[in-house]
Amino acid sequence: MNKKTILRALGAIVLLAVLIIISGYSYLRFALPNVGAAPDITIERTPARIERGRYLVYNVAGCTDCHSQRDFSKLAGPNFPDSMGAGGIRFDHKFGFPGVFYSKNITPYGLGKWTDGEIYRAITSGVDRHGKTLFPLMPYTSYGKMQTEDVYAIIAYLRSMPSIPNDVPASSADFPVSLLMNLTPSDPVPVTYVDRSDTVGYGRYLVMTAGCADCHTYKVQGKDSGDAFAGGNIFPLPTGGMSRTANITPDKETGIGSWTAAQFVARFKLFADSAIRNQPVAKGDFNTLMPWAYYSGMDTSDLRSIYAYLKTLKPVHHQVEKFTP
């Protein structure tokens, strides 16, 4: 093979590589996300639906936990009452995120131009009203499996919230995450019905809706370790120090294996006491991101269902130091 033939072959290889890169970029940038148009729905705001939505928003899914400002001068960082749903929390590189992301205003001020179908698509598929992908800090991959009626209830409640003027900056993902995150959205696959009398099954549903695994499954180089619910994820606190999520598998030494259902429920209900909720925390002292104030309002029967499901998990021996100054 002469020199000219070799150069032609190398040129062809380079050209092919360039075409592959351009095609891949174009696919990720322009063809995705591909979840179809927002459904054409108008959700009736009945009192029962709004009340169910309120319960899910505050006590299970915890939507306002991320979409409201938090007061970390108090234990577990309760939300400022005048910021409920107004968004504006910044998630950036210092917390390990590949970009700068802001939680959106989900009060009627922020969602006023959205249709019910656009809100539904955002919650269950991760695509905003302009067809852009939401960074999966928003757990839409879990919400897409929720009962459709529960998502409708959340939307009905969001529409009924007090409107709080707050213009939130646009989020920006770093390259190549800005492209790769377009692979995440998918069409929802909602469960048709979850029987509350099926304690373990309903507990599994609540755990999914609450996104427990998202925080309680520790990451290795940004990916789930495989030890589901074994805790250990590290979160830097605004007041200083590092908080780590607890091991909530039924391991008797390092998890909740030795806990009774009553002890499990009592741990949550402790924060129903306003004195505990408003306990001041000095800079550098122990604190946690766990939104105890929200979950303390969960029905006792629902907490018992969560406990019943967690007890069916594989025990993982993983000792977690919950706070480092």
- Asked if 219 and 264 sit in the same domain, the reply is yes
Structure-block tokens of residue 318 = 């993983």
- Asked if 131 and 84 sit in the same domain, the reply is yes
Instruction: Inform me whether the pLDDT recorded for 5 exceeds 80.
Output: no
Instruction: Inform me whether the pLDDT recorded for 9 exceeds 90.
Output: no
- The pLDDT value recorded for residue 133 is 97
- Asked if 64 and 141 sit in the same domain, the reply is yes
Task: Give domain status of residue 32, yes or no.
Answer: no
Single residue among 193, 208, 230 that ends a domain in this structure:
193
Task: Give domain status of residue 2, yes or no.
Answer: no
CB neighbours (10 Å) of residue 72?
Answer: 18
**Per-residue pLDDT tens over the stretch 225-236:** 678 999 999 999
- Asked if 108 and 236 sit in the same domain, the reply is no
Q: How far is CA 62 from CA 1, 84, 114, 148, 290, in A?
A: 67, 11, 21, 18, 11
- Asked if 112 and 174 sit in the same domain, the reply is yes
Based on the structure, what is the number of domains in the chain?
2
- Asked if 141 and 268 sit in the same domain, the reply is no
CB contact burial 29-65 (16+ within 10 A = b; e otherwise): eeebbebeebeeeebebeeebbebbbbbbbbbbbbbb
- The pLDDT value recorded for residue 221 is 58
- The pLDDT value recorded for residue 275 is 87
Task: Give domain status of residue 96, yes or no.
Answer: yes
- Asked if 51 and 184 sit in the same domain, the reply is yes
Single residue among 169, 193, 217 that ends a domain in this structure:
193
- Asked if 137 and 240 sit in the same domain, the reply is no
**Per-residue pLDDT tens over the stretch 78-87:** 999 999 999 9
- Between 21-30, 79-88, 147-156, 308-317, the lowest mean confidence (pLDDT) is in 21-30
Phi, psi of 181, deg, nearest 5: -65, -15
119 alpha-carbon distance from chain centroid: 16
- Asked if 55 and 184 sit in the same domain, the reply is yes
Nearest CA to 246 out of 262, 261, 260, 264 is that of 264
- Asked if 165 and 264 sit in the same domain, the reply is no
CB contact burial 101-111 (16+ within 10 A = b; e otherwise): bbbbbbbbbbb
Summarize the confidence of residues 32-43 as an average pLDDT.
Answer: 90
**Per-residue pLDDT tens over the stretch 302-322:** 999 999 999 999 999 999 999
DSSP label of 115: -
- The residue range of the domain holding 60 is 44-193
CB neighbours (10 Å) of residue 237?
Answer: 20
Mean predicted lDDT score pLDDT of the chain: 91
